């Protein structure tokens, strides 16, 4: 951020989903050119003439991403371009320990996100006994800060409770989110404080 400006900052954390498969030339070269062409011109200039960049910039770990690859032949017998193995920190081979000392390992919460909004609402109603509609649920996601405000781009704000699935343009919620709503909406006072309306019991005709 200090080098290229705040407008190019990635944020405090960067999630990188990996989908690895074989890419052969000229696919690799074409993909690299396409990605590099989308970068700001000053960044392209640094990448194109990296040998002219300052030693401090090139050595800055902020811009480094290290991946260890171990060549192997898969069980299928096919010849892959590359095979990578993911190992637990306490299972790293001794010959790699010195190199891996430079790695930063971020633990991603192992929360399962498999409930859509209507499923969340049904379960919260069952456990609290109060009616809850989709508008109230959407309001709660923003009040509690797990989804962006209206007008802002969709995205994941708190992976513990909700995840935005880009491919289907849908939010999926975890069990932790259901439990949080049940905790906060189980009393009439808590329900009205968060939704702005008094609760209505499901058995009320």
What is the rounded distance in angstroms from the CA atom of residue 157 to the CA atom of residue 155? 6
| Inter-residue contact 197 to 127 (CB < 8 Å) | no
Tokens 């194109």 map to which residue? 48
C-alpha distances (whole Å) from 32 to each of 8, 16, 73, 152 are: 19, 17, 26, 30
Q: Which residue has the higher pLDDT, 117 or 22?
A: 117
What local confidence, expressed as pLDDT, does residue 134 receive?
A: 95
Is 106's pLDDT higher than 60?
no
What local confidence, expressed as pLDDT, does residue 63 receive?
A: 63
pTM value is 0.47
Q: What pLDDT digit, counting tens, does each position of 159-171 carry? A: 889 999 888 889 9
Domain spans in the chain, listed from the N-terminal domain onward: 6-100, 113-195
Q: What pLDDT digit, counting tens, does each position of 129-167 carry? A: 999 999 999 999 999 999 999 999 999 899 889 999 888
What DSSP letter does each residue of 102-135 carry, written as one string? T----PPP---EEE-HHHHHHHHHHHH-B---HH
């Amino acid at each position: 951020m200090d080098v290229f400006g705040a407008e190019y900052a990635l944020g405090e954390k960067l999630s990188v989903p990996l989908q690895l498969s074989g890419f052969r030339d000229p696919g690799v070269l074409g993909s690299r050119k396409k990605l590099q062409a989308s970068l700001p011109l000053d960044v392209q200039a640094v990448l194109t003439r990296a040998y002219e960049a300052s030693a401090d910039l090139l050595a800055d770990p902020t811009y480094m991403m290290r991946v260890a690859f171990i060549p192997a032949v898969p069980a299928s017998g096919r010849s892959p371009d590359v095979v990578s193995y993911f190992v637990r920190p306490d299972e790293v081979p001794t010959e790699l320990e010195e190199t891996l000392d430079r790695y930063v390992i971020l633990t991603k919460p192992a929360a399962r996100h498999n409930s859509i909004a209507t499923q969340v609402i049904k379960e919260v109603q069952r456990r609290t006994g109060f009616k809850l509609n989709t508008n109230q649920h959407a309001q709660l996601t923003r009040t509690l800060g797990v989804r962006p405000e209206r007008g802002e781009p969709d995205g994941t704000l708190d992976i513990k409770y909700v995840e935005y699935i880009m491919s289907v343009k849908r939010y999926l919620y975890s069990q932790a989110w259901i439990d949080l709503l049940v905790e906060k909406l189980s009393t009439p006072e808590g329900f009205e404080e968060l939704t702005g309306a008094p609760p209505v019991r499901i058995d009320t005709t």
